[in-house]
Amino acid sequence: MKRVLSLFFTVALFARVDAAEIGNFDYYILSMGWSPSICAEAGSKDCAGETGRGFVLRGFFPRFEEGMPSFCLSGAVGPTRESADAMADIMLSGDRAWWMWKKHGSCSGLEGDTYLRAARYAYESITQPWSLKELDKDVEVPLDSIRDTILMLNPELPPQGIAVTCERGRMTEIQICLDKDLNPRDCAAEIRASCRQERVAIAPLPQG
């Protein structure tokens, strides 16, 4: 009985903490993953036949100035299957869109379909360097040159409002920081410093 009560109070505590976090965050991070890097990850079964999408929507994360809420116990209605599947053109699958809602969108204070529409709006508001899709081999470039290119194509972004992430020397994502009204804003220092390399490799798209 003691164990049952202990479990009950533990669950209740997390419910209270999560409820306080829902919609109570500071800004969003729009994460655009470079599909060759994402598809190189173990278990990326959604990449079968993936040939040429370049930057895909990897995440749309509510953030605190320090830290990030996730898996909130929200009473909001989740996205419909139709809405999630419709995100496959900018994500790798509808399943990923639904998981993004469950892990992060549940903390946004938005209904599921509204959250996915906001994520699409944010993604489509960024002009991407489509020239990278023409690469036919690995290219190593200065990290700052990637930031500078994004800023040149998107002059509304503040210089501190973008971060490039990397793993094992390869570019994996471009992250854009947006306020709750989806206007560009500065990223926290920890976000901007996520990749500490001066140069990164960019993998080419698979040839279909």
pLDDT band per the 50, 70, 90 thresholds, residue 52: low
What does the pLDDT read at residue 23? 85
What was the pLDDT predicted at 12? 34
Segment 75-89 shows an average pLDDT of: 94
How many CB atoms neighbour CB 92 within 10 A?
Answer: 23
pLDDT band at residue 103 under the 50/70/90 scheme: very high
Q: Is residue 5's pLDDT more than 90?
A: no
Which of left, alpha, beta for 133 (phi over 0: left; psi -120 to 50: alpha)? alpha
Report pLDDT for 16: 35
What is the spatial distance between Cα 184 and Cα 27, in angstroms, rounded to a whole number? 10
Both structure tokens of 142? 């200065």
With b meaning 16 or more CB within 10 Å and e meaning fewer, what string describes 149-169?
bbeeebeebeebbbbbbbeee
* CA angle (78, 185, 192) in 5-degree steps: 95
- According to the model, what pLDDT value does residue 140 have? 94
Per DSSP, what are the bridge partners of residue 140? 201
Question: Which distant-in-sequence residues (6+ apart) come within 8 Å of 44 by Cβ?
Answer: 38, 92
**Residues 202/132, Cβ–Cβ less than 8 Å:** yes
With bands split at pLDDT 50, 70 and 90, how would you rate the model's confidence at 109? very high
Report the pLDDT averaged over residues 109-130.
95
